[in-house]
Structure formats: structure tokens, C-alpha cells
């Protein structure tokens, strides 16, 4: 069953363009220039109930804007979307009870009060029965290992502890859809792992539908099997996470361990040296030349161990963004030349 259905969704903003200099500022008082910024361009996708999907892209790609549209915080310029059968920007009470939005850079908890007081406020907002509320607080604080901290002022908590409290507040009313925008931003490795383990367990047990945006690829690899990649407001990939490296990466990494204690000279002719820790070395080689390169190295040098690896996911995605930017720049240059 489809939980989230997005069809040709678009959002643009009219932005004032300030002129340079004093005279430009004075002129701007009487004649204002505007430009249109397209944050999201005709985006379409569907997410099944119970899926956890990564929503990836560089800063300014349109990820947070899309989540805000699905949360009903802003209105679209055009297009349609339904979440659990509701149109988000109609802001129906029935819909607001079925989703939660957690933004890693925004706080929903009262800074100077204990988290428990913010939880009680959520209890009243969502009209959660007392027995259900007590049970939920007990379950979630235990799962996230913060039972002893809920009576401590939020400002005294570490960043990782605050994020876990934010997740509890978002899940108290048992939403069916969870929108996560950079939930582990700024967290240390231990806190990141705790959040990942909780989300993986909770989502699997509850059948929660989740959209996750993150620049931290360990989150994505640990939690999601499917990824939607957006760049400059447009979807560039929608499919299995495993397909991203195959589709967008043009290189592989060959790891070689040579006999002895040194790395032979002249390896640059086979590929770019990514890392060298004698007697080990890593070479970055075009995918089409991996077999040829291996054969050449093995025929010339005494190699004790060899391995071929795909490039890390974040590198493949970064390469895709770079290729897309270069293609756009070339296209704009051609249009300028023809004009």
C-alpha cells in the first residue's frame, strides 16, 4: 500500500535581488528587482508503507523543502502529494496526528525545562491517554537509554542526549510516518550508533514509514535499502542503494600488498595512488580497466595479496553531483555561445 505519493511537486520562491553599492541600495527603495528560485522542480515518487527511504542531495538540493511540503509547513507552487491519503498542506487534524517531523538543527523541546515537561505538553497537544502516555515514555526512554535524564533541564544535556529526547517527543503519539532531516548531525560516533540502532529496531517492529535525509552515509547504509537522490530540485536517482555505486561511479579501488617492505616505483602508470602504506598501496582505476591493470601489475611485480573494492558510497554520490554540475555548466555555456 502506498503511504506517500508525490506527483510533479514543485516549489519556487520570489527572492529580492539586492544591487551593489550605495546607489544600488537607493535605487532599490523605488524599484525592486526579483528573481525566481526553484527549490523543487516537478518531483515525483512513491513510498510504500513500512519503507525506510534515504532522501539524498547536496546542500540546497531541495531535500528540506520537500520534507516541509510533506509536513504541510509550506504550500507548493504546483503539483500534488498525499501522505496516508491526506493532502499535507490542508493541515487536517487527522493528518497531524499521523506524522512527525524531526529536524536535527531545530529544537522542539523547551530549553530550560526538563524533557519530561515537554513530553507532557505533547501529551496534551495530541490528547494521549494517561496510561498510554506513561507506557510510551517508559518504553522509549528505556530503548534510547535516557530514563535517568528526563528530569534534567534540556540545556544540560549533551547533543546526543538531546537528539534522543527529540526522537521520543516525536514518537510519543505513535505516528505512522516519520520525516527525519539530518537526525545525527553533529553527533559523536557512539551517539550516532545508538540513534541508528534505535531507528532500525523501532522501524522494523512498528512498520513505520520513514524518509531520512542525511549527509552522513553511515546512517544511510545502516538504515536504508532504497535511495532517492535529488539535485537542483530534480530527482536524479530512485532505486536500490546498492545501484548508486554501479550507476554513478566510474572507478574502482585496487588494493595491493607487495612482497618485502617497499612499494615498487612507477605504479602511477596503472592508476592514481589513493593511499600508500608500504608494502600496501591503493590504486584508483577506471572500471573498464580493472582486469587489464591487475594483469599488468601481477606480471611485473611480486604481489602477496590483492583486492578490488567499489568506491565508498559518498564518493560515488559526490562524483555524480560533480558530473551533473559540469554538464549543466557546459549546457549553459553552449546556450550563451549560440545566443
Total of domains in the chain: 2
- Residue 45 and residue 10: Cα distance in Å, rounded? 13
CATH at residue 80: 3.40.50.300
Shared-domain flag, residues 263 and 239: no
Shared-domain flag, residues 232 and 294: no
Shared-domain flag, residues 46 and 106: yes
Q: Is residue 328 part of a domain?
A: no
Domain end position, chosen among 220, 244, 268: 244
Shared-domain flag, residues 171 and 96: yes
Helices (H) and strands (E) in the chain, counts: 11, 13
Q: Is residue 339 part of a domain?
A: no
Domain end position, chosen among 244, 266, 292: 244
Quote the pLDDT of residue 233. 83
Quote the pLDDT of residue 152. 93
Shared-domain flag, residues 239 and 267: no
Quote the pLDDT of residue 104. 76
Q: Is residue 338 part of a domain?
A: no
SS3 102: strand
Q: Is residue 179 part of a domain?
A: yes
Shared-domain flag, residues 202 and 224: yes
Shared-domain flag, residues 41 and 86: yes
- Residue 219 and residue 279: Cα distance in Å, rounded? 33
Instruction: Please give the span between the terminal C-alpha atoms of the chain, in angstroms, as a whole number.
Output: 49
Q: Is residue 316 part of a domain?
A: no
Shared-domain flag, residues 128 and 225: yes
pLDDT in single tens digits along all 339 residues of the chain: 899 999 999 999 887 777 777 766 667 666 777 778 888 998 999 999 999 999 998 888 889 899 999 999 999 999 999 999 999 999 999 999 999 999 877 778 888 999 999 999 999 999 999 999 999 999 999 999 999 999 999 999 998 899 999 999 999 999 999 999 988 888 888 888 889 999 999 999 999 999 999 888 888 888 999 999 988 888 988 999 888 877 777 788 999 999 888 888 888 899 899 889 999 999 999 888 999 999 999 999 999 999 998 877 777 777 777 766 665 655 555 555 555
Please, what is the Cα angle at 169 between 76 and 92, to 5 degrees?
35
Quote the pLDDT of residue 49. 95
Shared-domain flag, residues 239 and 207: yes
Q: Is residue 329 part of a domain?
A: no
- Residue 96 and residue 173: Cα distance in Å, rounded? 10
Shared-domain flag, residues 226 and 208: yes
Q: Which domain holds residue 205?
A: 2-244
The DSSP symbol for 9 reads: E
Domain end position, chosen among 214, 244, 274: 244
pTM beyond 0.85: no
Shared-domain flag, residues 213 and 183: yes
Q: Is residue 272 part of a domain?
A: yes
Q: Is the peptide bond prior to 198 cis by the omega test (within 30 degrees of 0)?
A: no
Shared-domain flag, residues 218 and 275: no
Paired with 255 in beta bridges are 282, 307
CATH at residue 305: 3.30.70.1150
Q: Is residue 40 part of a domain?
A: yes
Amino acid at each position: 500500500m502506498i503511504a506517500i505519493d508525490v506527483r510533479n511537486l514543485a516549489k519556487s520562491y520570489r527572492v529580492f535581488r539586492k544591487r551593489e553599492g550605495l546607489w544600488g541600495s537607493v535605487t532599490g527603495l523605488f524599484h525592486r528587482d526579483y528573481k525566481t528560485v526553484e527549490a523543487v522542480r516537478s518531483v515525483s515518487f512513491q513510498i510504500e508503507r513500512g519503507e525506510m527511504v534515504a532522501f539524498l542531495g547536496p546542500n540546497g538540493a531541495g531535500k528540506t523543502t520537500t520534507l516541509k511540503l510533506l509536513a504541510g509547513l509550506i504550500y507548493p507552487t504546483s503539483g500534488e502529494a498525499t501522505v496516508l491519503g491526506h493532502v499535507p498542506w490542508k493541515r487536517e487534524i487527522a493528518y497531524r496526528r499521523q506524522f512527525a517531523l524531526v529536524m536535527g538543527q531545530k529544537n522542539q523541546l523547551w530549553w530550560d525545562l526538563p524533557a519530561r515537561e515537554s513530553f507532557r505538553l505533547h501529551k496534551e497537544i495530541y490528547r494521549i491517554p494517561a496510561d498510554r502516555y506513561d507506557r510510551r515514555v517508559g518504553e522509549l526512554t528505556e530503548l534510547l537509554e535516557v530514563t535517568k535524564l528526563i528530569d534534567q533541564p534540556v540545556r544540560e544535556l549533551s547533543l546526543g542526549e538531546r537528539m534522543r529526547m527529540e526522537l521520543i517527543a516525536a514518537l510519543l503519539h505513535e505516528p505512522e510516518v516519520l520525516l527525519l532531516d539530518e537526525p545525527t548531525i553533529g553527533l559523536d560516533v557512539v551517539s550516532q550508533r545508538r540513534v541508528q540502532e534505535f531507528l532500525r529496531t523501532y522501524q522494523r517492529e512498528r512498520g513505520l514509514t520513514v524518509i531520512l535525509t542525511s549527509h552522513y552515509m553511515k546512517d544511510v547504509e545502516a538504515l536504508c535499502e532504497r535511495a532517492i537522490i535529488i539535485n537542483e530540485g530534480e530527482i536524479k536517482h530512485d532505486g536500490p542503494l546498492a545501484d548508486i555505486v554501479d550507476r554513478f561511479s566510474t572507478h574502482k579501488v585496487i588494493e595491493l600488498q607487495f612482497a618485502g617492505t617497499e612499494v615498487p616505483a612507477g605504479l602511477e602508470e596503472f592508476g592514481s595512488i589513493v593511499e600508500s602504506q608500504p608494502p600496501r598501496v591503493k590504486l584508483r582505476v577506471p572500471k573498464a580497466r580493472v582486469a587489464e591493470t591487475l594483469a599488468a601489475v601481477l606480471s611485473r611485480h611480486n604481489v602477496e595479496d590483492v583486492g578490488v573494492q567499489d568506491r565508498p558510497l559518498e564518493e560515488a554520490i559526490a562524483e555524480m553531483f560533480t558530473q551533473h554540475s559540469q554538464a549543466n555548466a557546459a549546457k549553459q555555456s553552449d546556450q550563451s555561445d549560440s545566443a
